[in-house]
Structure 1
Amino acid sequence: MLMRSRPLIALALAATSLASCGSPGPAEEPLLSEEALAAVTADPGAPTKALAREVDDLFSMEGLGETRALIVMKDGKIAAERYGEGYDADTRFVSWSMAKTVTALMIGQLVGDGLLRLDQPAPVPRWQRSGDPRADITLRHLLQMRSGLEHTEAGDPPWESGEVRMLFLDGRDDMADYATAQPPEAEPGEKFEYSSNTTVILADIAARTLADADHAEARRRAVSDYLHARLFEPLGMDSMVPEFDRAGTLVGGSLMHATARDWAKLGELMRRKGSHRGEQLVPRSWIEAMVKPSPASPHYGLQTWLNRPNGEAEHPLFPNRAPQSMYAMIGHMGQYVIVSPEQGLTIVRLGHSNREERIAMLQQLADIMELYPVQGR
């Protein structure tokens, strides 16, 4: 019986071998290019090849738009850095709305200096006339985008939006005058409405606090000197170039220019709660206030986006794939400085992506972040 069964066993083994040869098996991942591997440092704090692949996908996958710069920092050190064709470490990239968070940092320093108060009426002369309902708008209302002013960030057609009119049309020479002239449409504090005009009002308040309100050059110089002396120079941000309008007001909601590394330095300052090399550049309590949810919007703090659920299908970040303590500076067409304190991460992504591409691109950024565990867990 044993002798007769051996041919059957041999046939069964042969059939199994042939079947395994015919099956496709797991697909092999393509080899990583030298460029992809070179983007990752020697000690990135995550599996080197996995990180290199995820970074490479961000630059090469279709449907994500054009990534022009990426920096991943882990615990204060660069883990990965890569640039698109035509861009490098010396390229200055426009902030778009990432500038709003920088403006909020400056306001926080002025509050820390005792020159402004967060919960007192905003010092806007036009609003102090008798009976003006805008007199009840506080600095906190402005910082949390709940001033109640009739500001329309995006319109159809686009040139009818308050942002476009202020930046490029009838408001461009004196943006603060245009922004502060808008009427109220809701009670202060009642409604969240994202608005670049609101941030220009904050920039104007900074200029009025630091200089002669009627002298354009004095306003420009005072704010520029303050930002450089108190923020940019201590951080070593040599590339930062903020823009001003003809009236000397910082275009604080839209137009600052810096290298990717300098944008990363701002993210790291926030991750360290305002401290840099033992010096408290921004009050720790202010950074904590910046990342605390607004009463009118759970995913927004003080000029800063938060990775907290907002009860809506679409979110500017990805609360289902990263800690809710994560927050970000976000700019038009896909500019991001993302900070995740629980992971020790600061990620800078700069480039050009439309709405659909940004949604997909954010999931690729989430893939990168998921390579890093939440610390302490």
Structure 2
Amino acid sequence: MPDFSDAIRYAQGHEVPWPRDPAAEPAKWGVHHEDPPPYNRLRGPVHARGGVSGVIRVGAEEVASWGEPDRADLTFSVAKTYLALLAGVAQGRGLLDPNERISSRLPGIGFDDPHNREITWAHMLEQTSEWHGSCLGMPDQVEHNRRVAHDPKPPQGRKGEARALQRPGSYWEYNDVRINQLSLALLHLYRQPLPEVFGQSVLQPLGGGRDFRWVGYDDAWVDIGGLGMQSVPGGTHWGAGVSISARDQARIGQLLLDGGIHAGQQLVPAAWVERMQQPCAIAPFYGWLTWLNRQGGMFADASRESWFMVGAGGHYVWMDPKHRAVVVVRWIDPAHSPGFVTRVARVLAGR
């Protein structure tokens, strides 16, 4: 049995410096404070968190866990990858072609003007859409010039400062407003609340879903077929988002490691899962709402086949095909995540 105790001690000794209760010190919790006013506020519910937790699976078996692995905590932008999985399920049902223009299938939801009508599902999934507009009251400009830890591009200006838009597919930018627009499009595509689809199509078949929640902003309700449905965000930037346990995150990571198949059932098309791992032509560190380690830019000591779901607040789900491993760590200080990855990688490599 591999011994990950050193890595676990390291993780637990380097908790993210956010208060465990968002209400205790609001100014030290979350990422919305960096936004220009009036958008630097929460728009949906948040809740108290646990401490550093995690799960490690090797060869589809759980070999280590720590903290509270069954506690459902907010997971921030790990939820982006869940949107990619929902798009994959839709593709498997014949509901979308990743290379088609979204406007051709879903007119009237924000993809109709001359600039936006060129946008495909693939553009949205790889974050090169350059979608322009306002989604549920939030303009895309709020996220212009955003910097995230694993983006090697130098700053182009101040966050929220307008920049010239490029043609869809020609510029990569991490932009949560556009991700929310993708989620809205998927809601219109399914005509069913996305948390229900995700539970029925992914989590429940995996044996997970206990205490899972995926909620939207307080005012993010839309009419679909005469029914009010809440559009959910692909993160917790402005509150709301996915609350899920580390064990369920590991189950989802295992599904991806296994090419979308579980217990003989193809939950997500294998070709879609493979495509999620392929580098974006203009941002080779990124796939379809996943982070890649092809050149070691994410973590130098992780295998080059490794790919990741990443969320603010120190959330990482690491899929390592080389070692048939899935590693989940939550609420670790991101500045110390390389130290944790290095310690786990040494054990996986037998060093």
TM over 0.5: yes
Does structure 2 conserve the Cα–Cα contact (< 8 Å) formed by 1:115 and 1:209?
Answer: yes
Q: Which residue of 1 aligns with 2:206?
A: 235
Q: Aligned match of 1:360 in 336, 342, 350?
A: 336
Distance 1:277 1:150 in 2: 42
Q: Which residue of 2 aligns with 1:283?
A: 269
Distance 2:195 2:119 in 1: 26
CA RMSD of aligned residues (A): 2.5
Q: Answer yes or no: is 1:125 the counterpart of 2:105.
A: no
Distance 1:321 1:196 in 2: 29
Does structure 1 conserve the Cα–Cα contact (< 8 Å) formed by 2:16 and 2:314?
Answer: no
Q: Answer yes or no: is 1:80 the counterpart of 2:67.
A: no
Q: Which residue of 2 aligns with 1:109?
A: 89
Q: Aligned match of 2:69 in 66, 89, 104?
A: 89
Q: Report the CA distance between 1:89 and its aligned residue.
A: 3.4
Q: Report the CA distance between 1:228 and its aligned residue.
A: 1.6
Does structure 2 conserve the Cα–Cα contact (< 8 Å) formed by 1:64 and 1:360?
Answer: no
Letter in 2 for 1:366: T
Q: Which residue of 2 aligns with 1:226?
A: 197
Distance 2:15 2:268 in 1: 39
Distance 1:210 1:115 in 2: 8
What TM-score comes out, normalization by structure 2 length?
0.73
Letter in 1 for 2:216: F
Q: Report the secondary structure of 1:285's partner residue.
A: helix
Letter in 2 for 1:302: W
Q: Which residue of 1 aligns with 2:285?
A: 299
Distance 2:202 2:186 in 1: 14
Q: 1:64 to 1:204 in 2, by over 3 A?
A: closer
Q: Which residue of 2 aligns with 1:161?
A: 142
Q: Answer yes or no: is 1:349 the counterpart of 2:302.
A: no
Does structure 1 conserve the Cα–Cα contact (< 8 Å) formed by 2:7 and 2:343?
Answer: yes
Larger proportion of helix: 1
Q: Report the CA distance between 1:128 and its aligned residue.
A: 5.3
Percentage of matched positions with identical amino acids: 22
Q: Note the alpha carbon deviations across 1:158-204, whole angstroms, 9 max, x for none.
A: xx8349xxxxxxxxxxxxxxxxxx99711110011011122212211
Distance 2:290 2:61 in 1: 23
Q: Which residue of 2 aligns with 1:244?
A: 216
Letter in 1 for 2:142: S
Larger radius of gyration: 1
Distance 2:128 2:72 in 1: 32
Q: Aligned match of 2:247 in 253, 261, 268?
A: 261
Q: Which runs of 4+ in 1 moved over 3 A?
A: 62-67, 126-129, 160-163
Q: Aligned match of 2:313 in 333, 344, 361?
A: 333
Q: Report the CA distance between 1:238 and its aligned residue.
A: 2.1
Aligned length: 277
Does structure 1 conserve the Cα–Cα contact (< 8 Å) formed by 2:57 and 2:64?
Answer: yes
Q: Which residue of 1 aligns with 2:156?
A: none
Q: Report the CA distance between 1:352 and its aligned residue.
A: 4.8
Does structure 2 conserve the Cα–Cα contact (< 8 Å) formed by 1:290 and 1:303?
Answer: yes
Does structure 2 conserve the Cα–Cα contact (< 8 Å) formed by 1:150 and 1:184?
Answer: no
Q: 1:225 to 1:70 in 2, by over 3 A?
A: closer
Does structure 2 conserve the Cα–Cα contact (< 8 Å) formed by 1:304 and 1:329?
Answer: yes
Distance 2:111 2:330 in 1: 41
Q: Report the secondary structure of 2:78's partner residue.
A: helix
Q: Report the secondary structure of 1:79's partner residue.
A: strand
Distance 2:115 2:175 in 1: 19
Q: Report the CA distance between 1:342 and its aligned residue.
A: 0.7
Q: 1:231 to 1:273 in 2, by over 3 A?
A: same
What TM-score comes out, normalization by structure 1 length?
0.68
Letter in 2 for 1:294: C
Q: Which residue of 1 aligns with 2:10?
A: 57
Q: Which residue of 1 aligns with 2:117?
A: 135
Q: Report the secondary structure of 1:234's partner residue.
A: coil
Letter in 2 for 1:306: L
Q: Which residue of 1 aligns with 2:348?
A: 372
